[in-house]
Amino acid sequence: MEKIICLNRSVLDFMASKLTPESFVLEIGGGWSSRWFMERCRQLVIVEENPKWRRLITQELIDLQGWTIYTNLDNAGWYRQAVQGYGGVDLALIDCIENMRYRAARKAWQSLAPGGWIVFDDAQRDQHFVSVAWLTEHAGDPVRLMWQEGDIETAIGRLALAWQKPTASP
């Protein structure tokens, strides 16, 4: 299987600009981007419900430390690790299956540290309107991360949106 990260270059560049070697990242819907994250952060929690992808990700990361993979978004273990163990997530990528996106958006928002970011891939799809509306209601207008010339062909027309959690409550 070819290992291509199916995210726009603008998404990868944006996320790279938000990460430090001390960052804590939550990836809801893992894939080839999991190794990319591990090269840029201290701790990665992956929530991946597809058994095939869990096996592939585990094989890809087996030689690295600092990551944990959970099989279920509703498993409280990842949330405890993120919030109680590290004080919140610095960056969360939502790139999971369609029917999990709304729950993923809400849970990722709850786990974010103040000033942390959520990146929501494939936000252009009609079925994500409710998730995008919910995040915009809580965080304001998003940063738009669009396909650019030179991105992988499968990313043409794709849009990711990013929201930052306020650092202080109004």
Q: Which domains does the chain have, with CATH numbers?
A: 9-164 (3.40.50.150)
In the chain, the largest separation of any two C-alpha atoms, in whole Å, equals 48
How high is the pLDDT of residue 117? Answer: 97
Integer Cα distance of 129 and 24 in angstroms:
27
Average pLDDT in the 93-109 region?
Answer: 89
Percent of the chain with pLDDT over 90: 56
| 28: pLDDT strictly greater than 80 | yes
> What type of residue is 70?
Y
Dihedral of alpha carbons 118, 111, 40, 35, sign: negative
Average pLDDT of the chain, as a whole number: 87
Block residue for tokens 């070819």:
2
Least confident of 21-30, 51-60, 79-88: 79-88
Integer Cα distance of 55 and 1 in angstroms:
13
- Whether the CB-CB separation of 69 and 43 falls below 8 Å is answered with no
Q: pLDDT-based confidence at 84, cuts 50/70/90?
A: confident
How high is the pLDDT of residue 152? Answer: 61
pLDDT in tens, 118-166: 999 888 888 888 998 999 999 999 998 876 666 666 656 678 899 999 9
HSE, side-chain direction, 13 A CA sphere, residue 128: 22
Q: Which class for 164: exposed (0-12), middle (13-18), buried (19 or more C-beta within 10 A)?
A: middle
